[in-house]
Structure 1
Amino acid sequence: MDVNGTVAEGFEPVREAFAANFALLGERGAAVAVYRDGHRVVDLWAGAKDVDGDADGDAPWERGTAQIVRSATKGVAAAALLLLHQRGELDLDAPVGAYWPEYKAAGKEHTRVWHLPAHRAGVPVLDRPLTPAEAADPDLAAAAVAAQAPVWEPGTEHGYHAQTYSWLTGELIRRVTGRPAGEWIADEIAGPVGADLWLGLPPSRRERAGRVGPLRAPTAPGALRTRPKRAVAEAYADPHSLTSRAFAAITPLPDENDPAYRAAALPASNGIATADGLARVYASLIGEVDGGTRLFTPETTRLAGAERSAGPDRVLVVNTRFGLGHMLHGCASPLLSPHSFGHPGRGGALAFADPEAGVSFGYVTNGFRASVTADPRAQSLIRALRTALAQAGCPVTR
């Protein structure tokens, strides 16, 4: 496999791990980017892009190729909420109803703003799932989640809001700013940072996104198959479990390769980005990018990495750790160090920042895997990054 791109001196282990993912783990097309102290030190891509309409699926991945990153989008939406808080427009301790009066229905009047991104709102499911078309309608979807009764008292427990996170965070952004979440993120996050990242990709933007390719399952003989723990497997297999119902809040599952789905703005699941775009956004949360833009103040950076939920997850059936929308380093989401905050995307994508090491990381792939967290390809890259930093005299505590 020919690996394209560059790595700064000392970051060669990341290139080696990236190449090994193709040789040993069935990678098909992917890219990885790393920033250190606001400057890009890793920029690699390889494999097939799987361009729409390409019968063979062998068009080469190019620099600037973008992919749907699924739940890695959640971290970008979390950054939007934190940025609004930093600007004094959103009080994290205020009742959600102060901004969104309809949300007070069905016993949710005491839900605090911070409960929503921290997965403590108690509404990971919808009694009547939405169709893909309904899910893309911000008015209808927001009304559905506002009317939903919680399955636990808000604030008392936590469980991954796999799909409903879209309408909880998206509507809060819209109520505070008066603008759709995708538009606000484009103007206030991606634009100022110069990141190739979109939430909602109408046809007019498709060329700018480098012709987003469809997602494919890895087909190489060496593709690794991970086996979930028994309790987790049983939860996914039971259609009545919170796990199954949370992921089925949109039923049937959308066709992620459908232009109509890509044009929707779902902060939980359908952001489109390059690896560099993700890494660049996270770099701006912990420092200046290329000596210029910094989005978060140091205080907001600390807030992003502060734990708000930890322990048994009612939905994922494993122990998870969350801050205000970002996953934190732990068994379910192994990142670079205990200081890291970010978010994986089901199937492989991952983005995070580590303020202690001054590092940000973005990885995208078109090879879907069933895992929600801890994808082996991303983990191999993190291990290599840890090795490179140690060799450079910046050992990272795991």
Structure 2
Amino acid sequence: MEIHGICNERFSAVREAFTASLRSGADVGASVAVYLDGEPVVDLWGGYADQARTRLWQRDTITNVWSTTKTMTALCALVLADRGELDLFAPVTKYWPEFGCAGKEQVEVRHLLSHTAGFPDWDQPMTLDDLCDWEKATTLLARQTPRWEPGTRSGYHRFTHGFLIGEVIRRICRQSIGTFFADQIAGPLSADFHIGLAAEHDQRVSDVIPAPGPAPAPHPRVTIPVGAYVTTQDTWSTQWRRAEIPAAAGYGNARSVAAVQSVLASAGQTGLVRLLSEDTCHAVFGEQSHDIDLVLGIPLRFGVGYALTAQDAPVRMPDRRTCYWGGRGGSLVVNDLDTRMTFAYVMNQMSHKGLTDPRSNALLHAAYEAFTP
């Protein structure tokens, strides 16, 4: 299996782990990137862009990264906070007055970012059509009552996360979150990541491949079960690609994910572009919750917009100022502010392992070998 791209010899263990994953068949097509001080030291890709293995994964191949998109949505909010246009501790009603009913008057912006607001789901079943209808999705959320006291526990806001934060951003900027992200973040960074994919990029898309075998039963510690609104096959549709579903429908590859997120790991600036102050970067690490997540049933420690490293975290990494999140099927991004490293892994072959996917974890551990004396 031929691997393409660049890899600094200091990170040769990443190349070896990536090659092994593709050769073993664990990956069909994938990409991995490591940025240090905002610059790429690993940018590798290989394998196939389709399940039939007839098209090679190219340098510019992109795919749906599912909930890794949430880190892009969070970054949009942080950029506005850094500019003084968004107060992370303000009530959501400051920006979205209609939200202030049914016991939500005290829900703060930081609660939306940390999955502690009490809205892991809609109160009614949602179809793909509903998820593609921004006004319907946000109006329904504005009418709901929180399912627990906001700010006290996390319960993963799988799809609602992007609509809640995205509507706050829309009220401030009078732009959709996809447009804001493209204009204010991806554009200045020349990053090939998209929330709402234009037709001109369709030929580069590698559709995600369903995970083999049946989905596992919910974790026994799940308190609030949340239904699945879309199947893997739904994401192959033009409807999904064009919609702005900012918790789950972002398109990119490891290079573009790392290029954007490295702003956080490199104190707010990459190259000539500064998007955040150091203080705003550090604000991510204000702990909002640390408990068994009510929806996922696993221990999670959430900061502002990202999960934080902890001894009981599902993603094992050194105990540093490190934040992360991943996507359904296995994609992962990690920002380490102490080493100024960003790690990203994006693939098309999905698994049922989530944040504990052995492919992403092996690559991450290989990246950290570069920092071992």
Specify the alignment match of 1:122 in structure 2: 118
Contact preservation (8 Å) 1:116, 1:169: yes
Any idea what SS the aligned residue of 2:188 has?
A: helix
The answer to whether residue 71 in structure 2 is matched with residue 75 in structure 1 is yes
Question: Deviation string for 1:230-259 (max 9, x for gaps)?
Answer: 871684xxxxx622x2x43x3678701111
Contact preservation (8 Å) 2:32, 2:344: yes
Residues 123-138 of structure 1: pairs in structure 2 closer than 5 A: 123-138=119-134
Question: Deviation string for 1:169-188 (max 9, x for gaps)?
Answer: 11111111110000000111
Contact preservation (8 Å) 1:226, 1:371: no
Residues 1-398 of structure 1: pairs in structure 2 closer than 5 A: 1-24=1-24, 26-50=26-50, 56-206=52-202, 211-217=204-210, 232=219, 235=222, 242-243=224-225, 245=226, 247-248=227-228, 250=229, 255-287=234-266, 291-330=271-310, 331-335=313-317, 337-390=319-372, 393=373
Any idea what SS the aligned residue of 1:162 has?
A: coil
Question: Deviation string for 1:185-218 (max 9, x for gaps)?
Answer: 01111111111100001313435xxx11111146
Root-mean-square deviation (CA), in Å?
2.2
- Alpha-carbon distance in 2 for matches of 1:60, 1:21: 16
Question: TM-score scaled to structure 2, two decimals?
Answer: 0.93
Contact preservation (8 Å) 2:132, 2:240: yes
Any idea what SS the aligned residue of 2:34 has?
A: strand
Shift, 1:76, TM fit: 0.8
Residue identity in the other structure for 1:47: G
- Alpha-carbon distance in 2 for matches of 1:321, 1:226: 28
Residue identity in the other structure for 2:166: G
Contact preservation (8 Å) 1:132, 1:253: no
Any idea what SS the aligned residue of 1:167 has?
A: helix
Shift, 1:374, TM fit: 1.9
- Alpha-carbon distance in 2 for matches of 1:19, 1:8: 15
- Alpha-carbon distance in 2 for matches of 1:77, 1:291: 22
Contact preservation (8 Å) 2:221, 2:297: no
Contact preservation (8 Å) 1:170, 1:266: no
Contact preservation (8 Å) 2:206, 2:348: yes
Give the 3 Å change call, closer, same or farther, for CA 321–216 of structure 1 in structure 2.
Answer: same
- Alpha-carbon distance in 2 for matches of 1:319, 1:268: 21
Structure 1, unaligned stretches of length 5 or more?
A: 220-224, 236-240, 394-398
Residue identity in the other structure for 1:268: A
Any idea what SS the aligned residue of 1:362 has?
A: strand
Moved more, 131-140 or 174-183: 131-140
Residue identity in the other structure for 1:352: V
Shift, 1:388, TM fit: 1.8
- Alpha-carbon distance in 2 for matches of 1:358, 1:197: 21
Residue identity in the other structure for 1:213: S
Residue identity in the other structure for 2:64: I
Contact preservation (8 Å) 1:336, 1:382: no
Contact preservation (8 Å) 2:215, 2:352: no
Any idea what SS the aligned residue of 1:6 has?
A: strand
- Alpha-carbon distance in 2 for matches of 1:217, 1:156: 35
Contact preservation (8 Å) 1:81, 1:90: yes
Any idea what SS the aligned residue of 2:115 has?
A: coil
- Alpha-carbon distance in 2 for matches of 1:252, 1:347: 12
Structure 2, unaligned stretches of length 5 or more?
A: none
Shift, 1:226, TM fit: 12
Residue identity in the other structure for 2:42: V
Residue identity in the other structure for 2:237: D
User: What is the identity percentage for the equivalent residue pairs of Structure 1 and Structure 2?
Assistant: 37
